[in-house]
């Protein structure tokens, strides 16, 4: 009898050793840790993060894991959610998009919270993070079409990965890991509405919730709780319920021969991933040709059909919240035209009242391209045509944005991003100290690592 999908995953996850990881994979983990910690410092100030922190402080509980920046120690399950939301809150953390999108770094706090709970070394945490990226990204290739195209949110994929990350650090047996995947995979299917239409705080929260739930599932399995083994392929399991067309090889074959983290992308802009090539192209046109906002007649953005559906939704032309604005291509394009940059400040309450942005936004139109659709996701094409009031036209065409593995962010790019996000919390000396600590973290414990992130 063939082994279940979960059992094959569990055996690989528990068998992987730090010594099995190539040097470039370990370095990439550190790059994503640096990027993600920077995003967490940026999320420190957000209303949604502070609401959750306040709730958990009122609940109290055993001091097991540290909140990044704040320094509070709360139960590991709860710290996982707050820290994951901190990384996710500005929509500035990493992105992988194939058949499905995902943000694998949402899972990093599961490794950090459980690593601190059990007294793990950062070498063990690094292995857990490699597993997070490996299976989150493989699940993005599993369904054809992806679950997002079936109107489900990608947190539906994360539910299967978070117990793997936590379970590895908890030292689960293969059977316990199988149970943990089954426990979490039975109840965390997330509908697509958090990222459709008018967005709310739940846009950034559903994936961290799936991360948190997987940690709890792993703790349940550690205590002897059983879970469904055939949660993927069994009767009324994931594949049965979500419909046909699955790529088993993409999920399971070639494990350990190469590592998916090397294929993930970072974000150069704090916006929805499908906006990035368009923003890069728009800024190229505007800056290269020194076009002022008042000179704009029309801006036509040609993109894939699914981007038109998500990013040019009517709600996106009058965003009332940061969560909607950073998923609104019209708003992002308008802000880029006005300020010649996109930063976290582009979505402040003050900036969202800027009359210059509202003077441009209705001049921006989306155009769907079947040709571009066929190129995606191998390429993320964008064509931006700016017509000025004197009848001239300027255009740019790009196939992938800054941060893509084909045009990776440099160490200088990462440092600039980290320093901008953490500037309100850390001095320049502390920024350098945190960076140095992260890039040498294999030599310390997870507890020491988390302690050095407290402001």
Sign of torsion over alpha carbons 82, 84, 88, 93: positive
Q: Strand 364-368 to strand 296-303: parallel, antiparallel, or no bridges (unpaired)?
A: parallel
Q: The tokens of 278 are what?
A: 């368009």
Return d(Cα 212, Cα 169) in angstroms, integer. 15
What residue has token string 């058949």?
99
Q: Virtual CA dihedral for 353, 357, 359, 363, nearest 10 degrees?
A: -140
Return d(Cα 155, Cα 205) in angstroms, integer. 10
Return d(Cα 217, Cα 223) in angstroms, integer. 10
Q: What pLDDT sits at residue 1?
A: 61
Beta bridge partners of 382: 398
Task: Per residue of the chain (455 residues), give pLDDT as tens.
Answer: 689 999 999 999 999 999 999 999 999 999 999 999 999 999 999 999 999 999 999 999 999 999 999 999 999 999 999 999 999 999 999 999 999 999 999 999 999 999 999 999 999 999 999 999 999 999 999 999 999 999 999 999 999 999 999 999 999 999 999 999 999 999 999 999 988 878 899 999 999 999 999 999 999 999 999 999 999 999 999 999 999 999 999 999 999 999 999 999 999 999 888 889 999 999 999 999 999 999 999 999 999 887 787 778 888 899 988 888 988 999 999 999 999 989 888 999 999 999 999 999 999 999 999 899 899 888 889 999 999 999 999 999 999 888 999 989 999 999 999 999 999 999 999 999 999 999 999 999 999 999 999 99
Q: What pLDDT sits at residue 322?
A: 85
Q: What pLDDT sits at residue 324?
A: 86
Are residues 301 and 274 in contact, defined by beta-carbon separation less than 8 angstroms?
A: no
Q: What pLDDT sits at residue 108?
A: 99
Beta bridge partners of 387: 298, 393
Q: What pLDDT sits at residue 344?
A: 87
């Amino acid at each position: 009898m063939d082994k279940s999908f979960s059992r094959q995953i569990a055996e690989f996850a528990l068998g992987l050793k730090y010594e099995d990881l190539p040097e470039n994979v370990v370095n990439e983990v550190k790059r994503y840790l640096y990027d993600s910690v920077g995003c967490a410092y940026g999320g420190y100030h957000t209303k949604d993060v502070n609401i959750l922190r306040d709730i958990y402080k009122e609940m109290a509980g055993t001091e097991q894991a540290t909140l990044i920046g704040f320094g509070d120690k709360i139960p590991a399950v709860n710290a996982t959610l707050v820290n994951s939301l901190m990384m996710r809150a500005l929509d500035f953390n990493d992105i992988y998009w194939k058949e499905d999108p995902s943000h694998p770094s949402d899972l990093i706090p599961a490794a950090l919270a459980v690593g601190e709970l059990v007294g793990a070394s950062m070498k063990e945490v690094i292995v857990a993070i490699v597993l997070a990226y490996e299976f989150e990204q493989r699940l993005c290739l599993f369904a054809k079409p992806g679950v997002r195209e079936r109107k489900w949110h990608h947190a539906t994929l994360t539910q299967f990965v978070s117990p793997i990350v936590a379970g590895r650090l908890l030292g689960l047996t293969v059977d316990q890991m199988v149970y943990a995947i089954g426990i979490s995979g039975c109840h965390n299917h997330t509908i697509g509405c958090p990222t459709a239409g008018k967005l709310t705080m739940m846009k950034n929260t559903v994936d961290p919730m799936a991360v948190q739930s997987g940690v709890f599932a792993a703790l349940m399995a550690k205590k002897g709780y059983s879970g469904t083994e055939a949660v993927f392929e069994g009767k009324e399991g994931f594949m049965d319920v979500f419909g046909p067309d699955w790529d088993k090889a993409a999920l399971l074959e070639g494990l350990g021969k190469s590592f998916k983290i090397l294929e993930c992308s970072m974000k150069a802009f704090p916006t929805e991933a499908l906006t990035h090539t368009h923003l890069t192209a728009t800024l190229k046109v505007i800056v290269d040709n020194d076009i002022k906002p008042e000179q704009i007649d029309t801006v036509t953005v040609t993109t894939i059909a699914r981007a038109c559906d998500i990013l040019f939704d009517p709600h996106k032309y009058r965003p009332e919240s940061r969560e909607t604005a950073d998923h609104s291509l019209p708003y992002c394009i308008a802000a880029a035209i006005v300020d010649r940059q996109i930063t976290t400040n582009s979505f402040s309450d003050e900036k969202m009242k800027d009359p210059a942005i509202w003077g441009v936004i209705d001049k921006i139109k989306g155009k769907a391209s079947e040709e571009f659709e066929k190129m995606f996701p191998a390429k993320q094409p964008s064509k931006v045509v700016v017509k000025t009031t004197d009848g001239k036209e300027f255009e740019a065409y790009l196939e992938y944005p800054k941060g893509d593995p084909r045009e990776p962010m440099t160490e200088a790019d990462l440092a600039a991003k980290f320093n901008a996000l953490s500037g309100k919390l850390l001095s320049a000396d502390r920024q350098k100290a945190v960076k140095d600590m992260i890039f040498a973290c294999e030599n310390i414990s997870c507890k020491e690592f988390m302690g050095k992130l407290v402001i």
